Structure 1
Amino acid sequence: MFKNILVICVGNICRSPAAEFLFRDKLRHRGIQVRSAGLKAMVGYPMDDNAMRVLKAHGIDAAEHRARQLNADMLREADLVLAMEREHLGAAARLAPEASGKLFLLDKWREAGDIPDPYRRSQQVFEHVHAMIERGVDSWLKYL
């Protein structure tokens, strides 16, 4: 059983924290810890305003989020690591090769595609990406 899930992207201010907070909301009574981090994190920054606005519209407050830099220890400690893009999987595997067996795309159970980065894009793009992330999160729930 997964007790510690890590979600990764690049800056850790849009996609991975959105998935983190969606997982937290949907798993709130399951005792599963969910965190996120970025390969090139904007360390200490809050979540992007547009991403936070979309979450808030879905009843989720992510104001507490601060971006964190991904490191090998985080990858080793996680039971499951979910990435937004194939490129992120490769970067994580290079950082901690021993974690390779627990690295998967967030979209694995759907189309197994990359979830695009909405950073510095329109609110409409953020809403579209949020829907992709939510579908990815929902697709993992039966396996957790």
Structure 2
Amino acid sequence: MFDRILVVCTANICRSPVAEALLKANLPNHVIESAGTMVASSNLLNARAHQHSQGVCAEHGFDISGHSARQLTPELCGQFDLILVMSHEHVDEVALLSPGSRGKTMLLGQWIGQGDIDDPVHQPKASFDVLFHTLVRATTAWVKKLT
């Protein structure tokens, strides 16, 4: 049913690359990708994942060093069955960009009772450690719902 999953955050360098890696590890028969709502306007097209996101992933056996940030587009939204976002604001942004995608856009933190998963972009590494564990809980809950 949900074979193609897109994970969305703001710049596609902190949260969504980590969540993408976690989902890929647990849903090997699914297509899982990520994008950001403000990649182009932040001049981050093709940027690598944030160094702290890469570091925390590496500490837990995930390699996201090949990640390349990309902008969310209406065409991209149309290619996926489920769009998982980090915040209520992202839900609204996806709906504005691709009105037909609103019904398939859900909060990543929904099943763990967390509406928004905060962006740690200008925070110390400790915030990325907390983010990683939050994303593990959120993606694990989604994997249970999807399998």
TM-score bracket, normalised by the shorter chain, equals over 0.9
Question: What residue number does 1:36 align with?
Answer: 34
Q: Is residue 2:16 matched to residue 1:4? A: no
Question: What residue number does 2:119 align with?
Answer: 117
Q: Is residue 2:17 matched to residue 1:17? A: yes
| In structure 2, distance between residues paired with 1:13 and 1:53 | 12
The Cα shift of 1:112 comes to 3.7
| In structure 2, distance between residues paired with 1:14 and 1:27 | 21
Report the residue type matching 2:122 in the other structure.
Answer: R
- Structure 1 runs (4+) deviating above 3 angstroms are none
Aligned-partner SS, 2:130 = helix
Question: What residue number does 2:65 align with?
Answer: 63
1:59-115 CA distance string (max 9 Å, x none) = 001111000000001111110000001000000001010111100000111114100
Q: How big is the alpha-carbon RMSD for the aligned residues of Structure 1 and Structure 2?
A: 0.8
Report the residue type matching 2:2 in the other structure.
Answer: F
Question: What residue number does 2:136 align with?
Answer: 134
Q: Count residues with an aligned counterpart.
A: 142
Q: So what's the TM-score if we normalise by structure 2?
A: 0.94
Matches for 1:22-101 after TM superposition, within 5 Å: 22-28=22-28, 31-41=29-39, 42-101=44-103
Question: What residue number does 1:103 align with?
Answer: 105
1:100-138 CA distance string (max 9 Å, x none) = 110000011111410000002111111011111111100
The sequence identity of aligned pairs, in percent, is 37
Report the residue type matching 1:63 in the other structure.
Answer: S
Aligned-partner SS, 2:52 = helix
